[in-house]
């Protein structure tokens, strides 16, 4: 080719493509992530502020402001999402006070390290406290919110609490502007306020967890069904004009539970149902037997026979202008396991969206009927009234999975890593074995643990019987079911901690240890003073990675316990999934967004306050 001839098109193209190589390498990934992660994320935010309906030929999205969120925090989903919040006793207040002191100590330590004085610390703390109080006042009490609500209503945005949230967000924006202004003048103060915010959120979560755990007063009564009649119908009347608290009704045959019903606060009122509406009943059953559900009303009875384990059935509503005050459940099979009514919906509006709320209340008198078609020897009805007791919602349950799971996984993983780095024959064999659970599909893990935990035909039956728990069903009690999920999670994810810590321990230089060993340090001293400090950076990172992943837990609780009993083992992802399946896409997106913010908050707080410090 002549050196001076103009470049051909192919050469130009080649030159251009060589120049653009960097972009060509990177751009496809960026575009894919933008369109299938960032784009959907933004749309998800919009969906969480909307009501989504599937219609013929498309989706109808109606903007409704913050009501999906309001529903979770203060509305009908509150006891599902936040749990049942109870008044704290002095023990819990003491724990909170101690936590507060620890928080203040850490904040002050930071302030002290910045070589700042006490009075300014108190000043900032006071200002922050005041700011918090004002924001709470704006959120909960400010009458202007109501006025703004009516303005919003005029604009067609008449949703509960939108105004409060908008005011609150305005306040937050003002606060952020204040901080940016401060940052130019005083960087340390910004760090302090950031810590205050993190601590405050942690404090609120701690308060929530504690108030969920309040045990309350429990009362129980037992009635042998055979005393009443072969086909038993039992009516419980609550004369008092008070909400019936957490209630559990179990139909027992001997020691085996035939039917368990759970109910929570009576925020379910069914009244004034127009004639053309349909009542939808969703149910869940641990077993696959056919079920017959009868719903008894003052003026009618509707029956439903469900042959398969299905999720929703529409019931014809026979009744108008009449509230349902009695719900009758009957089973064809004597042995039918747990039975929960998930929720009762009127068209698509949830009358009670909480899975285990089914208490139907009318004029201070509630009645629950449990009918047994076949006579079962020794059947009895146990009624437990646990009003005053708290119950963790999906938020606290998810946090428990994450925090307990990570702590135990780390301790076990580190011990195993230290054990297998010793010069022992066969350590490679152990390493490969210990790695296995991580690779196994979580669904498989869940079923395997279900099989193992079976007290009547599982491998540990002799063990259960030896300790007198032969008839104990772990899936029945909330905490044992939660532990089953956590044990499965620990079994599966300890290998992840193990494998990374193992490589880190192996990478430690031998010289230090040998020197310490020659100097006569004990193994324990060596571990505490040499090994552990050197492992801290890797530990901090591996905990961060696990934390991010752990917030997504869904497979185990869904398959192992199906979120039950009641909602006891539901994680946030599962909550979101159930909401989605109930065709409440907006609500589902709202839960997903809260989960994302929660995991971001924990990730950021951990990364900024702990990881940065330890990793240094």
Footprint of another protein on residues 284-313 (CB under 8 A)? 287-288, 309
Q: What is the DSSP letter of 34?
A: I
Binding mask 177-216 for another protein (x = CB under 8 A): ----------------------------------------
Q: Is 533 in the site for another protein (CB under 8 A)?
A: no
Binding mask 418-457 for another protein (x = CB under 8 A): -xxxxxx---x-xxxxxxxxxxxxxxxx-xxxxxx---xx
Q: Is 567 in the site for another protein (CB under 8 A)?
A: no
Between CA 249 and CA 382 the distance in angstroms is 6
Q: Is 205 helix (H, G, I), strand (E, B) or coil?
A: helix
278 vs 428, beta carbon nearer another protein:
428
Q: Is 377 in the site for another protein (CB under 8 A)?
A: no
Task: Examine residue 512 and say whether the peptide bond preceding it is cis (omega within 30 degrees of 0).
Answer: no
Stretch that binds another protein, among 219-227, 369-377, 469-477, 547-555 (CB under 8 A): 547-555
The residue whose two tokens read 């007198």 is 468
From the CB of 592, what's the least distance to another protein, in Å? 4
From the CB of 310, what's the least distance to another protein, in Å? 9
212 vs 576, beta carbon nearer another protein:
576
List binders of another protein among 343-362 (CB under 8 A).
none
Q: Is 551 in the site for another protein (CB under 8 A)?
A: yes
Q: Per this entry, what is the length of the chain?
A: 616
Q: In what order do the strands lie in the sheet with 379-385?
A: 219-224, 379-385, 247-253, 256-263
Q: What is the DSSP letter of 460?
A: T
Between CA 280 and CA 346 the distance in angstroms is 6
List binders of another protein among 66-105 (CB under 8 A).
none
CA distances from 498 to 292, 317, 429, 490 (A): 49, 57, 14, 12
Between CA 87 and CA 375 the distance in angstroms is 42
Q: Is 458 in the site for another protein (CB under 8 A)?
A: yes
28 vs 129, beta carbon nearer another protein:
28
From the CB of 537, what's the least distance to another protein, in Å? 7
Q: Which residues pair with 341 in a beta bridge?
A: 283
One of 386, 542, 568, 582 touching another protein (CB under 8 A): 542
Rounded to 5 degrees, what are φ and ψ at 283? -140, 165
Rounded to 5 degrees, what are φ and ψ at 457? -135, 5
From the CB of 436, what's the least distance to another protein, in Å? 6
299 vs 616, beta carbon nearer another protein:
616
One of 241, 510, 519, 520 touching another protein (CB under 8 A): 510
Residues 6+ apart with CB under 8 A from 607: 544
Q: Is 576 in the site for another protein (CB under 8 A)?
A: yes
Residues 6+ apart with CB under 8 A from 64: 49, 50, 51, 157, 159, 586
Q: Is 475 helix (H, G, I), strand (E, B) or coil?
A: coil
Q: What is the DSSP letter of 324?
A: -
List binders of another protein among 1-40 (CB under 8 A).
14, 17-18, 21-22, 24-26, 28-30, 32-33, 36-37, 39-40
Q: Is 364 in the site for another protein (CB under 8 A)?
A: no
Between CA 542 and CA 536 the distance in angstroms is 10
Q: Is 470 in the site for another protein (CB under 8 A)?
A: no
Q: Is 409 in the site for another protein (CB under 8 A)?
A: no
One of 43, 169, 172, 407 touching another protein (CB under 8 A): 43
From the CB of 26, what's the least distance to another protein, in Å? 4
From the CB of 148, what's the least distance to another protein, in Å? 22
Q: Give, for 139, the enclosing helix (H) or strand (E).
A: helix 118-140
Our CA dihedral for 72, 73, 76, 80, rounded to 10 degrees, sits at 70
Between CA 315 and CA 71 the distance in angstroms is 26
404 vs 419, beta carbon nearer another protein:
419
Q: Give the total of residues touching another protein (CB under 8 A).
A: 113
3 vs 22, beta carbon nearer another protein:
22
One of 109, 217, 271, 415 touching another protein (CB under 8 A): 415
Q: Is 125 in the site for another protein (CB under 8 A)?
A: no
Q: What is the DSSP letter of 373?
A: S
List binders of another protein among 231-270 (CB under 8 A).
none
Stretch that binds another protein, among 206-214, 275-283, 299-307, 509-517 (CB under 8 A): 509-517
Judge whether 261 and 246 are in contact, CB under 8 Å.
no
46 vs 479, beta carbon nearer another protein:
46
Q: Give, for 262, the enclosing helix (H) or strand (E).
A: strand 256-263
CA 104 from centre of chain: 28
Between CA 559 and CA 572 the distance in angstroms is 15
Q: Is 129 in the site for another protein (CB under 8 A)?
A: no
Could you tell me the two tokens for 190? 């910004």
CA 304 from centre of chain: 32
From the CB of 67, what's the least distance to another protein, in Å? 17
């Amino acid at each position: 080719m002549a050196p001076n001839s103009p470049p051909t098109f192919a050469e130009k193209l080649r030159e251009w493509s060589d120049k653009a190589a960097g972009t060509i390498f990177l751009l496809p990934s960026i575009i894919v992530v933008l369109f299938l992660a960032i784009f959907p994320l933004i749309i998800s935010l919009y969906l969480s502020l909307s009501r989504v309906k599937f219609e013929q030929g498309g989706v109808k999205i109606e903007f409704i402001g913050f009501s999906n969120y309001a529903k979770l925090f203060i509305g009908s989903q509150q006891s599902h999402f936040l749990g049942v919040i109870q008044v704290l006793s002095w023990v819990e207040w003491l724990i909170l006070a101690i936590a507060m002191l620890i928080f203040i100590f850490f904040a002050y330590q930071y302030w002290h390290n910045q070589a700042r004085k006490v009075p300014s610390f108190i000043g900032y703390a006071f200002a922050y406290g005041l700011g918090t109080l004002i924001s709470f006042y704006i959120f909960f009490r400010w009458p202007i919110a109501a006025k703004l609500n009516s303005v919003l209503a005029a604009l067609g945005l008449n949703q509960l609490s939108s105004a409060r949230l908008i005011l609150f967000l305005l306040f937050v924006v003002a606060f952020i502007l204040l901080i940016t202004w401060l940052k130019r003048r005083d960087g340390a103060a910004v760090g302090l306020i950031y810590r205050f915010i993190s601590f405050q959120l942690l404090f609120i979560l701690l308060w929530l967890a504690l108030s969920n755990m309040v045990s309350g007063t429990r009362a129980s009564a037992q009635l042998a069904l055979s005393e009443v009649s072969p086909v038993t119908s039992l009516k419980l009347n609550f004369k008092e004009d008070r909400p019936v608290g957490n209630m559990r009704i179990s139909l027992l045959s001997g020691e085996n539970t035939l039917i368990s019903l759970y109910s929570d606060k009576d925020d379910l009122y069914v009244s004034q149902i127009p004639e053309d509406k349909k009542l939808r009943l969703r149910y869940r059953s641990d077993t696959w037997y056919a079920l017959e559900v009868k719903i008894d009303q003052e003026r009618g009875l509707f029956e439903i026979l469900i042959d398969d384990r299905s999720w929703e059935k529409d019931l014809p509503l026979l009744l108008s202008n009449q509230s349902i005050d009695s719900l009758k459940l009957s089973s064809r099979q004597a042995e039918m396991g747990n039975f929960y009514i998930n929720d009762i919906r009127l068209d698509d509006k949830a009358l009670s969206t909480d899975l285990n709320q089914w208490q139907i209340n009318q004029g201070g008198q509630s009645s629950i009927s449990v009918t047994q078609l076949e006579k079962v020897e020794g059947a009895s009805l146990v009624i437990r009234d646990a009003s005053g007791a708290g119950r963790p919602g999906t938020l606290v349950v998810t946090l428990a999975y994450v925090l307990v799971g990570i702590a135990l996984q780390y301790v076990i993983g580190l011990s195993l890593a230290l054990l297998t780095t010793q010069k022992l024959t066969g350590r490679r064999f152990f390493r490969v074995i210990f790695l296995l659970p991580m690779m196994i599909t979580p669904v498989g893990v869940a079923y395997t643990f279900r099989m193992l935990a079976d007290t009547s035909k599982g491998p540990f039956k002799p063990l259960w019987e030896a300790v007198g728990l032969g008839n104990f069903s772990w899936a029945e009690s909330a905490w044992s079911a939660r532990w089953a999920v956590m044990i499965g999670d620990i079994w599966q994810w300890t290998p992840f901690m193990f494998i990374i810590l193992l490589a880190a321990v192996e990478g430690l230089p031998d010289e230090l240890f040998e020197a310490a060993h020659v100097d006569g340090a004990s193994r324990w001293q060596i571990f505490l003073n040499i090994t552990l400090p050197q492992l801290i950076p890797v530990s901090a990172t591996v905990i961060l990675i696990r934390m991010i992943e752990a917030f997504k837990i869904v497979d185990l609780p869904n398959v192992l316990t199906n979120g039950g009993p009641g909602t006891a083992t539901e994680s946030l992802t599962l909550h979101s999934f159930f909401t989605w399946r109930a065709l409440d896409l907006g609500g589902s997106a709202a839960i997903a967004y809260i989960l994302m913010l929660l995991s971001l908050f924990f990730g950021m707080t951990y990364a900024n306050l702990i990881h940065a410090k330890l990793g240094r």
